[in-house]
Structure 1
Amino acid sequence: MAEQEEKVKCAIIGSGNIGTDLIMKIKRRSKLLEIVALVGIDPESDGLKRAARMGIATTAEGIDGFVKMPEFKDVVFVFDATSAGAHARHNEVLREHGKRVIDLTPAAIGPFVIPSVNLDDHLNEPNINMVTCGGQATIPIVAAVNRVSPVRYAEIVASIASKSAGPGTRANIDEFTETTSHAIEKVGGAERGKAIIILNPAEPPLMMRDTVYCLCDDEDEDAIRASIQHTIDEVSSFVPGYRLKQSVQFERFGNNRPLYLPDQDMEFTGLKVSVFLEVEGAAHYLPAYAGNLDIMTSAAVQAAERIVSLSQKETAA
C-alpha cells in the first residue's frame, strides 16, 4: 500500500465567520490540508477561542504576531478571510516569506478564480482571489451560457440573510459589487457585467438566493440548458447545497420588440436567459441558511486541494 502523503500545513487570517467555517470544513473533510494556525485581532473572538480548544495555535496580534509564531515557517497556504483593505499588507508580508495566498476578500490582487471555470489556468499563481460569494455562485452560470452563445450582458442579484453577513462582509459591500462585476466579464466571459447584493433581514433567515440574467445571441435552448446543468453538477460536487431553484427561463427579443439597455444606450435583440439558484450551507459552523459562507469557503478549499493534488502527482511522476 502506498504511503499516505503528509497533509499540507495551512493558516487562516481572520477569526470571523468565514475563517471559522474554513477551520471546520478543513478539519472535517480535507484529506490534503491541515490548519495549524488561526490569526485574528480580537482575543475575545469566538473563532480564536474555538480554534484554541481544537488545539490550533492562535494569535490575536494580526499578521505581525503570525510571523513570530513557530508554526509560521511550515505554513504553505494562507487563507485571508479579513477585508480588502487589510489584505494588501497581508499579501505583501506573506509574499516576502514565500507563502501562497488564497484571498477570500474582494481585494483582487491576484487573478480571479472560480474553481469550476478557470482554476487550471492559475495553478502556479502566488495569490489567487476567490472573487465573492455571489461571484462563486453565479459566474459559473454566466460561463455556462457563454460556452454556448456569446453573452452580451450579464446581471446577477445575490440575496443573503442579514445574519450571515459579518463585519467583514458589510465593510466590503462596495468592493463586492465592483469585484463581482469585473469577474462576470473577465471570468464569466460577458461583454458587460453588473452585480447587486441584498442583505435580507427576514426572520426566520432565508437561504442564499441568486438570480442570473444573461442576454446572449439567439441559440438552441436545449444546448444552453444542458450546459447550465453540467455546471450545476460540477459545482454541487464540492458545494452539495448548490442547486437550481426552478427551471431555466427563456425569453426572446426580436427586431419588432427590442430590449433597451440604458447603461449601454443600445437596443438588444436575442435571447434572455434567467437562472434562479439556491445555496444551502453545510452548517459546519453557521446555520444552513448561510450558503454565502459555505460556497466561498468550499471554493477556497477546493482550489487549495486541487493545487496540492496536482503538485503531489507531479512529484510522484
Structure 2
Amino acid sequence: MYYLNVLPLFLFFSLTLGSYPQYDLEKAHEYFADFIKKYERKYESAEEFRMRFEIFKKTLVQINEWNANSDYENSGFIITQFADLENVPPCFDPSQMNNTMPLTEVKREFIVNAPDEIDYTTQGLVTEVKDQNPCGSCYIFAAIGNIEGVHAKQNPGQLVSLSEQQILDCMSEATCHGGYSLNVINYVASSQGCMSEADYPYIEKTKTSCRFDAKKVKAKVNPAQTFNTPDDESLKGALSQNGAPLAVTVEATDSFTRWQGADVFTPKDCTGGGANHAVLLVGYGKDANGVSYWKFKNSWGTGVGDGGYYKLNMQNNCSFGRVATCSAT
C-alpha cells in the first residue's frame, strides 16, 4: 500500500453556519494528508496515489467555485469521503427492473388530499442514518429503510434497525455494484424475514457467508409494489397513501457528494439523464421562503447533507422519484 509520508495536519475547515470558506490550493497536499487519515485510504501504488491526488485537487477547485457562487446562508460544499473519486459510484441498476411488472396507480383521493407536509422522521418510522461506505449498496439501504418503516407502521412502537449485510450475504443477486430495491424487499418477503443490525452488522463486503438465523428475525413484510409516480403530485400522494417512507431513485451528481447544510438544496449539475442512486423518501414540505422540497435519508453517513438528510428542491432536474418508487406492503 502507498501512503503519504507526512504528518496529517488536520486542516479541514472548522465550518460554522453561514461560513464556507475557500480551500487554499497551495495546501492541497496537507488537505490530502488529512483526507487519507480521516477516511483510512490505502492506495495500491504510487501511480494510483498520484492519480487520486490529481482528482482530489480538481475536487478542491470545484468546491471553491461552487462556494464562491453560492447564495446559501447556512450550507455549502466541503471535502467528503468522495473527494478522490472522479464520478459518483453508481449503485442503482435499472437493468434489474422488470418492465412487465404492473405499476400501482396512486389513488386519486391521496393525490387530491395529500397534506401540505409529511415528515415520517417525527412519527417513529425512520431509524438512524447509516453509511454504505465504498460498497455500491444504496439500493439495499433504501429498501431496508422502507422495510423498517413499514414494519414500524404495522407494529407501533417496534422501530428496529435492520440488517443490510444479511441481504449482501444471503440474497443471490446482491452485489456491491448496484441493484434494485424492489428485489431486496421481495427477497425479505419471500424468505423468513430480516434480522437486526445488532445481530447481523454491516461490514460492507459482499458474500462473506450467509449467517441468517430465523430465530433472530425482527421483521417480516409482504411483497413489494411499485408506484407510478411520473410527477410531484403523484409522488406526494404515494408517500401519503403508503403511510411510511418510500424507496426512490435519483440522479446523484458530484454536488450531492460535497453538500453539507440544512438549506433546501438545488443542484445545478443534474443532467436529467436518469437515476444512479437509491434513497429513502421520508417527507416533503416548504421552507421559510416558500420553497418546496423533498426530504430524504441518504446512506452516506452523517457527514454529508444535514446529518445525512437532504432537503432537495422539488424544482430539480435530477429525476427524483420518477422511476422505481417502491415499498413493502
Q: TM-score scaled by structure 2? A: 0.28
Which structure features the higher share of helix residues? 1
Query: What TM-score, normalized by structure 1, do the two folds share?
Result: 0.29
